[in-house]
A and B are shown apart, each in its own frame.
Chain A
Amino acid sequence: MNEILSINNVSKRYGHVKALNNVSLQINKGEIYGILGPNGSGKTTTLGIILGALNPDMGSYSWNGNRPTKFDRKKIGSLLETPNFYPYLSARQNLSIACKIKGVSENEVDRVLTKLDLLYRADSKFKTFSLGMKQRLAIASALLGNPETLVLDEPSNGLDPQGIADIRNVILDLANQGKTIIMASHILDEVEKICTHVAILKLGNLLTYGPIESVLNNQAKVVVSSENIVLLERVLAQIDGVSHVRKNGDKLSLILATGKDGAYLNKALFEEGIVVSEISIQKSDLESNFLELIK
């Protein structure tokens, strides 16, 4: 079986704030899955739940088709929200504790420190590290034991441009080894450059998900106008494949599902008795699609 992670109808509240609303997602082996969304959309909550730190109010999840246990987590390299280490211990001492918990050989410590370019500071206390070094140490810790699955929450947080490029290469390198990576990010560019798949969250709702090109690229943004714009808006809402209809001056913009084109839309409108005065398909780009989706 190919399925690594399955999230089924998971919901989570903090007081009266709905952090996650009935989210379901399947992630298969070898996919680099980006969880994309603005701040406060539920990315970290999702990762916290699949890593056993947060209890979902409803729903369930499974790793490799089984009920989750601590033994699954030992085999997953994870970074959740912030780098968490003992400030008074050195990088090496901190990683050696992580090795003991995960049950991997302590020889791994030097390997991961080298990979993240931290070996020269191996014996410095964690509290003397800069923000970027702390982040790199957290990623080094996630690599202990060379896990087949990685869960990384905003991996490039706090890094300078060079650091971001380095981390990106580390992740791409892991991806080339066939590992499964689940990565939360609010940076579209990062997801676009690294991920094969993407899920978009907004205010706890899963808006869309799938292979990155079908989610972000293939949906065409269309602008239409007609004499009776109120009627046009009402009719558009009933046409299959049309979503995100929005008023834009005296025109309406919308997103047309994959596989549908302007001719399809024009025909559908004509059948409803609407004569279109303007219809134009705007060349889609990732960013505008994304912004449109999370509007």
Chain B
Amino acid sequence: MLKLLKIEYKKIIPYSTFWVIFGLFFFFTPFFFYGLGQIKLDSFPIDFTAIYHFPEVWNNITYIASWFNLLIGMLLVILVCNEFSFKTFRQHVIDGQSKSDFILSKILLSSSFSFLTTFYLFLIVGILGFVSGSDGSFLTDIKYLLIYFVQSLGYMSLGLIIAIVIRSSALAIIMFTFSIFFESVLSYLVPDAIAQFLPLEIISNLTPVPTPKGIQVAVLVDAIPLNTSLMIAGIYILAFWGISFLTLSYKDVK
């Protein structure tokens, strides 16, 4: 398994797109998060710097970073589509990889990306949280990191299946973005009871919109408890991986 992951990194470390997209993620996540804390509204006296405080910081940063998860999802789409357009997938097969090795490689790669981004958030929080002198406990609500990890894996597993079915980079990226819009529209068309179980709904709601302290918000009825959401997301992820494998194994390697 480690050997497969090593091969994956041999392919992408010299690849500039990999660095650009991770660079964007690494730059914009703290940039936005920090910027949000600097907002001052004259008419509305909220202390936005509270977003840096423990334990809310975990929810806040994972929510911000979740938007940039789409970038990492797109990177995975590009990397998988490249294997088809360069025909390197076919070369790997005739050189002695199996189709399941190929899927496993991409699952390992996705997991390592999720691990990298999650660890990065952990570092940002460590720095920002302590600098701003929080009084909360460090470990309270650190579970949001796990949730974030699952969410980012969720977006990438969607990316994987789209890339494997469509195979062409440009079209797959469009479909990846479009699927998010498509599901948002669909969720209005079907009853809420069903809509809340749609895959992207489950995945994106893992990191809920934070409710800032001091604002009285209408309490939203959160129908699915977090643990259930996590479990369902896990099932979706496994299903996406499984369908990706089945799609690949029935098709000829072109």
A residues sitting closer than 8 Å to B (CB atoms) are 48, 51-55, 70-71, 73-75, 78, 80, 82, 84-89, 93, 96-98, 100-103, 141
Say which residue of A52, A54, A75, A100 sits within 8 Å of B3 (CB atoms).
A100
Number of B interface residues in the complex (CB < 8 A): 26
Name the A residues within 8 Å of B94 (CB-CB).
51-53, 73, 78, 80
| A86 B11 Cβ-Cβ under 8 A | yes
Given A96-B10, A101-B7, are A85 and B96 also a contact pair (CB < 8 Å)? no
CB neighbours (8 Å) of B247 from chain A are none
The answer to whether B7 touches A97 (Cβ under 8 A) is: yes
Apart from A53-B252, A74-B96, list 19 A-B contacts with CB within 8 A: A48-B253, A52-B93, A53-B90, A53-B253, A70-B96, A75-B96, A80-B94, A84-B86, A84-B87, A84-B88, A85-B91, A86-B11, A87-B86, A88-B15, A93-B14, A96-B10, A97-B7, A101-B7, A101-B92
A80 to B87, CA, bound (A): 11
Known: A70-B101, A82-B87, A100-B7. A53 touches B93 (CB 8 A): yes
From B7, B11, B95, B101, A78 is in contact (CB under 8 Å) with B95
Task: Determine the chain B residues whose CB is within 8 A of the CB of A52 once the complex forms.
Answer: 93-94, 253
CB-based contact B16/A88 at 8 Å: yes
15 contacts between A and B (CB under 8 A): A48-B253, A71-B96, A73-B94, A73-B95, A75-B96, A78-B94, A78-B95, A84-B88, A85-B86, A86-B15, A86-B82, A93-B10, A97-B11, A101-B96, A101-B97
Tell me which residues across on chain B come within 8 A of A54, comparing CB atoms: 252-253
B98 at the interface (CB under 8 A from A): yes
B229-254 interface code vs A (CB 8 A; 1 in, 0 out): 00000000000000000000010111
| B6 close to chain A: CB less than 8 A | yes
Flag if A86 contacts B95 (CB, 8 Å). Answer: no
B91 touches A55 (CB 8 A): no
Given contacts A96-B10, A100-B3, are A86 and B96 in contact (CB under 8 A)?
no
Neighbouring A residues of B3 by C-beta, 8 Å:
100
Bound: A73/B7 CA distance, A: 18
Q: Taking A84-B87, A85-B86 as contacts, is the C-beta distance between A102 and B95 under 8 angstroms?
A: yes
- Least Cβ–Cβ distance between B64 and chain A, in angstroms: 32
What distance in Å separates the Cβ of A165 from its nearest Cβ neighbour in chain B? 26
Q: Most chain-A CB neighbours within 10 Å: which of B15, B88, B95?
A: B95
Closest to A79 in B: B94
Interface positions of B from 1 to 45, Cβ below 8 Å from A: 3, 6-7, 10-11, 14-16
A97-B96 CB under 8 A given contacts A53-B253, A54-B253, A85-B91 = no
Asked if A97 and B10 sit within 8 Å, CB to CB, the answer is yes
A89–B7 CB distance below 8 A: no
A82 to B11, CA, bound (A): 20
Q: Report the nearest A residue to B85, measured CB to CB.
A: A87
Distance of A140 from chain B, by nearest CB (Å): 13
| Residues on the A chain within 8 Å of B16, using CB | 88
CB < 8 Å: which of B11, B101, B252 contacts A89?
A: B11
State how many angstroms separate the Cβ of A104 from the closest Cβ of chain B.
Answer: 10
Contacting pair A84 B97 (CB below 8 A) = no
Output the least CB separation between A177 and chain B (Å): 21
Enumerate chain B residues within 8 angstroms of A71, measured Cβ to Cβ: 96
In the complex, the 5 A-B pairs of residues with the closest C-beta atoms, listed nearest first: A74-B96, A84-B87, A84-B91, A53-B253, A73-B96
* Chain B residue nearest in CB terms to A75: B96
Given the interface pairs A53-B90, A100-B6, the reply to whether A74 lies near B14 with Cβ below 8 Å is no
Q: Which residues of A contact B97 (CB under 8 A)?
A: 70, 101
How many Å lie between the Cα of A102 and that of B94 in the bound state? 10
In the bound complex, CA of A249 to CA of B254 (Å): 47
Interfacial chain B residues near A75, Cβ < 8 Å: 96
CA distance A87 to B10 in the complex (A): 14
A85 to B253, CA, bound (A): 16
